[in-house]
Amino acid sequence: MENRKIIHLYNRFGFGLTGKQIKKLSGISFAEKLKKEKVEEIKLDLSEFEGVDFRSLPEKERKEFFKKLREKIKDLNLMWLDRMIHSENIIQEKMNLFWHHHFACSIENPLYGQQFTNVIRKNATGNFRNLVLEISKSAAMIDFLHAKQNEKSHPNEDFARELCELYTLGRDNEYTEKDVQEIARAFTGWRHKMLGEFIVHPKKHDEGNKTIFGKTGNFNGEEVIDLILEKKACAEFICKNIYEYFVHPKVNEKHLKELTDVFYTSKYDIQKLVIHIAESNWFYEEQNILAKIKSPIEFIVGLSRQFKIENENPKSWLLYQKLFDQILYRPPNVKGWKVDQEWIDSNSLPLRLRLPSIILTNAQLDLAAKPNYDENPLDGMKENKFSQKLGFTYDWEYFFEQNQGMDFKDLFFNGKLSPQMKAFIDKHPFETKYEEVIQLISLPEFQLI
């Protein structure tokens, strides 16, 4: 496969490549690469919380207990970010990020966050039925969508509604308000124990007949998921979301139908679906190259992998996520994080353009911001204006060694610079390779993949 296609492929199903990685992957198909990748679970040391009944703790100790929990969710955040930056399993890591967006879930308990993460990691390129079922049974999702309040005497529709609207079928697509009410009854009694183990509380579960999608029976939650998956509309909705995330924000209906057929006939095999995309000629058409805007996580992970960026101060990574509104495990709402154009506004773009040079020259970050005293990573910040030395380290020698012989414009922009940027480069010749790199990654086009 030619370099331009490889760059495009692993911009979308990865976080970008160095020149040496491009050469290495030119001799292996996407399917081979994916099948060789490993599932890497995340494992925190949570032993200090095991067997602790926080409800019996005195108030002061209980506050300290929850403070430690909040710190551990930050550790989980940083561990996930570290995996994206350093893992060789780049396709798996990108798929993990996508499914965390699709199954948006704000998580405060690190034990449940770890469980949720590993459910996604285990199933990210597996079977969608297994993925949606295990997500539905996860302690994080049960807490997030108030499943504990869903019981026979007082059904709570929150999970049933989002299951249909956001996770499987799409808003108002082949289900009715009555279907949502009946689906909620099927999920009554779904609970979890303190350590996250899934259970069904028999006294809270509705054993009566339910009529869902025109079919009547004593359906439980697992059977409802099967009823949903029987609908081809489910396969179409998932393919639409995957197309928008990995191919183009505007969906080509012909290509969508093609993907839907592949996904549905394969019984929701995610691996077959993404391989089909990667092997389709239309995926590499000109209109799809640099057609998407990097999310903040894609931006910093790609930059870190390219320049071997590290930071021993975790607050810098957390500050970065907060500034750009993409905090891992904290999507802003049930719809997930922003996408594409939503990431760019008058505040974020200037900072995005400055950030590479700030990191790669270890410059001071000067910002005007209103601090959040409860959550701001910069403890003790009292003023709206602040300066912060981010403290990142980077390896220019590694970058130049990895990209020896590469045209940096091809590496960063896949040979697709706008006339305006070409004119700018022509008018501002670079004196050194360092200056060339800094200037190129400070251009607006560097925000695209």
Question: Does 161 fall in a domain?
Answer: no
How high does pLDDT run on average in the chain?
Answer: 92
Q: Which domain holds residue 322?
A: 296-447
How many domains would you assign to the chain? 1
- For 317-333, the pLDDT digits (tens) are 999 999 999 999 999 99
Q: Look at residue 372 and tell me whether its pLDDT is greater than 80.
A: no
**Model pTM?**
0.93
Question: Does 205 fall in a domain?
Answer: no
Question: Does 177 fall in a domain?
Answer: no
* 3-state per-residue secondary structure call for the chain: CCHHHHHHHHHHCCCCCCHHHHHHHCCCCHHHHHHHCCCCCCCCCCHHHCCCCHHHCCHHHHHHHHHHHHHHHHHHHHHHHHHHHHCCCHHHHHHHHHHHHHCCCCCCCHHHHHHHHHHHHHHCCCEHHHHHHHHHHCHHHHHHCCHHHCECCECCCHHHHHHHHHHHCCCCCCCCHHHHHHHHHHCCCEEECCCCCEEECCCCCCCCCEEECCEEECCCHHHHHHHHHHCHHHHHHHHHHHHHHHCCCCCCHHHHHHHHHHHHHCCCEHHHHHHHHHCCHHHHCHHHCCCCECCHHHHHHHHHHHHCCECCCHHHHHHHHHHCCCCCCCCCCCCCCCCHHHHCCCCHHHHHHHHHHHHHCCCEEEEECCCCCCCCCCCCCCCCEEEEECCCECCHHHHHHHCCCCCHHHHHHCCCCCHHHHHHHHHCCCCCHHHHHHHHCCCHHHHEC
- pLDDT greater at residue 53 or residue 44: 44
Question: Does 345 fall in a domain?
Answer: yes
Instruction: Provide the pLDDT for residue 56.
Output: 80
Q: Look at residue 101 and tell me whether its pLDDT is greater than 50.
A: yes
Question: Does 248 fall in a domain?
Answer: no
Question: Does 93 fall in a domain?
Answer: no
Q: Percentage of the chain with pLDDT > 70?
A: 95
Which of the four pLDDT bands, split at 50, 70 and 90, describes residue 380? very low
Question: Does 420 fall in a domain?
Answer: yes
Question: Does 303 fall in a domain?
Answer: yes
Kindly report which listed range (110-114, 175-179, 193-197) carries the lowest average pLDDT score.
Answer: 193-197
Which of the four pLDDT bands, split at 50, 70 and 90, describes residue 388? low
